[in-house]
Homo-oligomer: A and B are copies of this chain.
Amino acid sequence: MRQSTQQTENENRQLVLSERPQGEPTEQTLRLESKAVPTPAAGQMRLRTVFLSLDPYMRGRMSDAPSYAPPVELGEVMVGGTVARVHSSKLNNFKVGDWVLCANGWQDYALSDGQGVTKLANDLEHPSWALGILGMPGFTAWAGLLKIGQPQAGETVVVAAATGPVGSTVGQIAKIKGCRVVGIAGGGEKCTHAVKHLGFDACINHRSDDFETELAAKLPDGIDVYFENVGGRVFDAVLPHLNANARIPVCGMVSQYNATKLPDGPDRMGWLMGQLLRKRITMRGFIIFDDFAPLYPEFAKEMGEWLKAERIHYREEVIHGLEEAPAAFIGLLRGENFGKRVIQVGAL
């Protein structure tokens, strides 16, 4: 059966995990299937996906290596955060047409009993922002920077993926807190955006041949907070510039998600620990809702105010069509996105 390229009321298109990727995901990793639109039983509602979030963590769910969350099983719908509308409801507190934040995954329709579903206002100007600046990535930036990084005015904060949804937010919050902010991004256009539109003090292109030298030139006072979301070559360049008492919140290692084996030696693991000791550095990994869920209301209030006052700018890439999601996700892991990447799965 040929799948529609549009969301309809007649079928539930699903992207299911077809095989576990070795290295970078491919066109074979996910498979588009067509199922019947599910019918809610008593105590359930049907949700229609409008926006699907694409996030680097999803690469981890495709693997069955031990991780903080169970993997998606082969043949199962790929997981993902979504903004949806209630399409049919047998629940008193959810009405047809209501906007919600939920986790339908990569499909048109899902049933829900309301657990874990958050109602959104029905007059939001940007409902998809609940997947970005006002959702998981924004909260990750806010809590990781402020609660782990604890930046002080005058300190230097460095963040990579500087125009991504997390990095761009980290840098802008650090500016609000009076820090010097140096971004790292993949490409000159992104770097220009970070400085011109996001207010970073500098931004270095990690694809430049002189990346390490250019970065060093922008760090006359070293680094007090390095917000780690990429790892790899960027971390190697950052490490020599870390100051005594530096803080490193670790929220991602996107440069390594597709790695199939460890890099060649020498083994720098013990050396890294020696650096942490000598420089009295704190490095802390965190998973946002596991570690900071109780702080979500504080985040939402503060971020809402900053957005209203236009102190934080947010850039989103909306790609239309569920069938585009696999390629868009592969590109995301390559750093091809410029801002927060979401898939618009259906009409508003």
Task: Report A's interface with B, CB cutoff 8 A.
Answer: 66-68, 228, 231-232, 235, 244-245, 250-253, 255-256, 261-287, 290-291
Contacts and interface: CB of A to CB of B under 8 A. Distances in A.
30 contacts: A68-B279, A228-B273, A231-B273, A231-B274, A250-B273, A250-B277, A251-B277, A253-B273, A262-B267, A262-B268, A263-B266, A263-B267, A264-B265, A264-B266, A265-B265, A265-B266, A267-B267, A267-B269, A268-B269, A269-B269, A269-B271, A272-B272, A273-B283, A276-B283, A276-B285, A280-B286, A280-B291, A282-B282, A282-B284, A283-B283
Number of copies: 2
A68 B66 CA distance: 37
Contacts of A284: 276, 280-284
Given A268-B268, A269-B268, A283-B283, A68 B262 contact: no
A347 B265 CA distance: 52
Contacts of A265: 262-267
A205 to B, nearest CB: 21
A95 B273 CA distance: 45
Contacts of A269: 267-269, 271-272
Contacts of A280: 68, 284-287, 290-291
Nearest to A264: B265
Contacts of A263: 265-267, 270
Nearest to A269: B268
Of A271, A275, A285, which is in contact with the most chain B CB atoms at under 10 Å from its CB? A285
B277 A244 contact: no
Contact of A278 (B228, B270, B272, B285): B285
A252 B277 CA distance: 7
Contacts of A277: 250-253, 285-287
Contacts of A256: 270, 274
A268 B283 CA distance: 16
B235 A253 contact: no
Given A265-B266, A268-B269, A273-B253, A278 B235 contact: no
By Cβ-Cβ distance, the 3 closest A-B pairs, closest first, are A265-B265, A262-B266, A277-B285
A266 B272 contact: no
Nearest to A281: B285
A272 B287 CA distance: 16
A285 B279 contact: yes
A285 B248 CA distance: 12
Contacts of A235: 270, 273
